[in-house]
Structure 1
């Protein structure tokens, strides 16, 4: 049996895995724009940014594998292509976004320097840490998360007790689905698939003699506890943004709002401290993404150290190029890729969580194909070429007008393909 201490330690490790500093800039603006419907936005955001990622960890606990294992029931070729796309997106968007967040929160307000300088220095340091695989970052990471959590709880607490519960008018037509789509930008479901296996491996090392079911129970309880922590922080930041609707300009950026809220609640010194912590946390995230991508390529090229170095260099060069753009631009650029890859990631996570009898290879193939097909209109719409305009022929498909037209087709195909799949007899 596992103790409460083991559950809390594992829960904290999982919390730290998902609690990226870049994610902190998303909830406050959601609340700021949601007005009195902040709670609907919070539910939607936490569905895609908390619940699905935790399911991803549970899927890893079941599979005991890597990102490649998530899609292998569709086909090895699909799984390889999916893995390559995920890693390519990771080094091209969320990794550079950490540099942009660092510049906007910690560099520009105090030095006013060019974002080019920030991203060049930032990714030069990332490259040095990646090729040296220093353990310093893991030690720093263990201290960063608790410090950031304490400051955030203080910000949320001060906001709740110093503001009247009066909210503005929402700008969202559908707060719940808008919250879900903004949750895509956390990349947490992708994070669960990519690096969730690291947590599972470490648990297996520490409890190598424990029965499989005992380890699975530990991960499940810790997962739900970590999810509760994420929900409280995200919901707290969303309501904080909603309470401060009248204190900032409507067109304020995500990073400026987080800094502004921090200054108004705790003062300039605390905001400076938060800026430093967020920057360090962003840096550890970037190093983790580039290292993970380089490790993947190294493994595909028979443990070639040269492949590792070249991938790390390419990842850092991409980081410099993309990292000099502002955060809101990077988020806008990421949207089309997320509109296509996130639904696929969600269905792969859910298919790997459901009982084996409902997840035969035939079911995997059918559901993933349906999801891919019905994600194309959402992808095209996000780049300005809607295939199914609002109010058009295909508006009868539930959620089609909200860029989530894949949900019902995937569910229908899941049910139908299971009805037409003969259960395998045990030999």
Structure 2
């Protein structure tokens, strides 16, 4: 397997574009709550937050297109609606969340906000405005995104986070507590939803395709670069996630915490002292910033394509996305997570199914298979969506009847059965 300099730069850029707010705040707290059941939680988290997103990158490597191509086998109309919904969700929740996490973890701990008076009251707004102004600057220079992020920002993220995990795992801790989760595996899978990384995979993969094209990389070479970069980035994610989950679990019998960001702040302080807390601030700012850049760039690319490659459409979309980021970024992290949940319950199962189908050989993923599996997924994920918007009593009997329905995975078995049945019927007809 030939590995070029471009492959390494793209791997680092891919890692940074994925590694944002959720990737930092969820794993450690997940391990903390799982205690001695941390390993199965880690397996579940890796499945939904690493395997599926990297399969999305592999799908993009094969397709060499945009997010529209992910749903085109269902129908062009579906592909358009799906892409539009994903981009709207992305700039409305995960992108603003990066600003909120940056403020709560990289700014707020270092200032006595009440003592600042009027400035303190408007500090989140001021910082969000500066934050998204810098995001916009990067997005408008999108041909240099891979090189800047891959060469300069990612190494800083890896060094800081790696130091916290390695030093922390060799600490002296009390015995781990028992897991708080009824099912460690499914809890890990569902927490992986909150990273938005499956959605990030279909979004960021398109950014890589366009960026490599702008750099003059041929489609054939781009396929290999993106596929290998996805593999290397995936290995990096597994190491970092398992390390953070294990570190959280190791502290479960020692610390008494009920807040995700507070736990991460304490872990960094306990491992690297005051320098660790400062390093965490830098780490959070870098990780969140690169993710916001990836989301806004992908969204601007999409609308640019809709308007016949119009640069004006690209700029307008980027500006609107950043303004929306400033507005939504005024909510705290917890509020954004709560508000985003219904959107995740609706779009995530469809996204997972599209990723898996696009990663399969064409003979197993015909247009008929796409249509049938996506339709069944939409129907059987509706109870989870309705439950998330406060109609749990109405759909509870359905969720209890469906296999895995009580853990919001009621769509999984029907989608799998549909995939097998439709393929068997197709093979029989061909015979």
Alpha-carbon distance in 2 for matches of 1:365, 1:328: 36
2:106 alignment partner in structure 1: 106
Query: Residue 267 of structure 1 aligns to a residue in which SS?
Result: helix
- Counterpart of 1:208 (choices 205, 212, 218) is 218
- Counterpart of 2:205 (choices 196, 201, 209) is 196
Alpha-carbon distance in 1 for matches of 2:160, 2:126: 29
2:156 alignment partner in structure 1: 147
- Counterpart of 1:268 (choices 270, 274, 277) is 274
Alpha-carbon distance in 2 for matches of 1:123, 1:37: 39
- Counterpart of 2:294 (choices 288, 291, 297) is 288
Alpha-carbon distance in 2 for matches of 1:389, 1:206: 52
2:88 alignment partner in structure 1: 88
- How many Å apart are 1:208 and its aligned residue? 3.4
Query: Residue 421 of structure 1 aligns to a residue in which SS?
Result: helix
Report which stretch shifted further, 278-287 or 65-74. 278-287
Asked if the contact 1:15–1:230 (Cα under 8 Å) also holds between the matched residues in 2, the reply is yes
Alpha-carbon distance in 1 for matches of 2:72, 2:265: 43
- How many Å apart are 1:410 and its aligned residue? 0.3
**Is 1:403 the counterpart of 2:392 in the alignment?**
no
Gaps of 5+ in 1: none
User: What TM-score does the superposition give when structure 1 sets the normalisation length?
Assistant: 0.90
Change (3 A) 1:421 1:146: same
Alpha-carbon distance in 2 for matches of 1:157, 1:303: 46
For this pair of structures, how many residues does the alignment match? 421
Matches within 5 A, 1:374-393: 374-386=380-392, 392=397
Asked if the contact 2:377–2:414 (Cα under 8 Å) also holds between the matched residues in 1, the reply is yes
1:226 alignment partner in structure 2: 233
User: What TM-score does the superposition give when structure 2 sets the normalisation length?
Assistant: 0.89
Per-residue CA shift, 1:64-118, capped at 9, x if unaligned? 2110000000000000000000100011001100100110011111122342333
Alpha-carbon distance in 1 for matches of 2:6, 2:301: 29
Gaps of 5+ in 2: 114-119
Alpha-carbon distance in 2 for matches of 1:139, 1:215: 19
**Is 1:58 the counterpart of 2:58 in the alignment?**
yes
- How many Å apart are 1:136 and its aligned residue? 7.6
1:74 alignment partner in structure 2: 74
Change (3 A) 1:301 1:187: same
Report which stretch shifted further, 92-101 or 185-194. 185-194
C-alpha RMSD over aligned residues: 2.7
- How many Å apart are 1:316 and its aligned residue? 2.0
Matches within 5 A, 1:18-417: 18-111=18-111, 112=113, 113-114=120-121, 115-131=124-140, 133=142, 135=144, 138-139=147-148, 142-164=151-173, 166-200=175-209, 208=218, 212=220, 219-251=226-258, 253-386=259-392, 392=397, 394-417=399-422
- How many Å apart are 1:220 and its aligned residue? 4.3
Report which stretch shifted further, 145-154 or 330-339. 145-154
Report which stretch shifted further, 68-77 or 182-191. 182-191
Report which stretch shifted further, 140-149 or 22-31. 140-149
Asked if the contact 1:388–1:395 (Cα under 8 Å) also holds between the matched residues in 2, the reply is no
- How many Å apart are 1:311 and its aligned residue? 2.2
